[in-house]
Structure 1
Amino acid sequence: MNDAATYRCQCFCGAVKFIVSGKPEGVGYCHCESCRRWSAGPVNAFTLWKPDAVSITHGADHIGTYNKTEHSYRKWCRVCGGHLFTEHPGLGLTDVYAAVIVDFPYEPCVHVHYTESKLPIKDGLPKMKDLPKDMGGSGVRIAE
């Protein structure tokens, strides 16, 4: 990762620090109930990275894990409760919440699980019924 961009990330209190390197595989908004409930917000801003692009640099012993299903392993700081990222083994990707990346130029390109939205957003970006086909979804786009 010689010339790859590196972005600093941390939990709410700073007990856990990590970096993401390179270019994300995807950037957007998720409207599914699981993401909304986990984030305690009406929508979750995500960035998707290959697992080897995510490196814990401080506080690995403070990371807790919760998985409601085998599809998502949600990570948080056991000191402050701040959310960090979610590992999606079936997709081979790690969702690093955009809010924890200190210096990343967040530019979303898609809305996923838009049929579950509680906060309609009219921003001209594609709205997916569930996920893109290449991520195991239907690939069906819905109207804004």
Structure 2
Amino acid sequence: MNDQKSYTGRCFCGTVEIVATGEPVAMGYCHCASCRHWSAGPVNAFTLWQPQAVHVTKGGEHVEGYQRSDTSVRKFCDRCGGHLYTEHPTWGVTDVYAALLPDLDYAPALHVNYQESVLRIRDGLPKYKDMPAEMGGSGDTLPE
């Protein structure tokens, strides 16, 4: 019997529903220009999951994707344009936007791509210049 917690999220109009099961492998903030542009905000709050933990449970025929780079395939609802998740095949994770999972206890642990930040956040968390070394980045951190 599977006793893992599940978190349900929906697109803006509710046509598409996703479920993430278990716990994310990481949570944090991305400051890269691409995430900022896509999210229409100064920073993107992410939750990274193993791909097999994220499933579309309703409205799958309305999920569209956009791939701008080798590292990201952004998924959205074709009815309302609501953002759903981003597949990151290079890193083997799926980013479900934190705002889509209202029942998840969001506990960010780091900032990535902080060198591109337009909104400085003083929260005591590590600020990676680009990405952690294990994700192919320099692993360098920046001061708050």
Is this a same-fold pair by TM over 0.5? yes
- TM-score calculated relative to the size of structure 2: 0.98
Query: What number of residue pairs does the alignment pair up?
Result: 144
Q: Which amino acid is 2:79 matched to?
A: V
Instruction: Tell me, yes or no, if structure 1 residue 112 matches structure 2 residue 112.
Output: yes
Instruction: Tell me, yes or no, if structure 1 residue 5 matches structure 2 residue 11.
Output: no
Gaps of 5+ in 1: none
Superposition map of 1:31-110 within 5 A: 31-110=31-110
* Moved beyond 4 Å, runs of 4+: none
Residue equivalent to 2:139: 139
- Aligned 8 A contact 1:10 1:102 in 2: no
Secondary structure class of the residue paired with 2:61: helix
Q: Cα RMSD over matched residues?
A: 0.9
CA deviations on 1:96-135 (whole Å, 9 max, x unpaired) are 0001113111111100000100000001111000111111
Deviation at 1:70, TM superposition (A): 1.6
Gaps of 5+ in 2: none
Q: Distance in 1 between matches of 2:38 and 2:114?
A: 17
Q: Which amino acid is 1:123 matched to?
A: D
Deviation at 1:24, TM superposition (A): 0.6
Q: Distance in 2 between matches of 1:51 and 1:34?
A: 21
- TM-score calculated relative to the size of structure 1: 0.98
Q: Distance in 2 between matches of 1:137 and 1:25?
A: 18
CA deviations on 1:31-85 (whole Å, 9 max, x unpaired) are 0000000000000000000100001100000011000112100000111111000
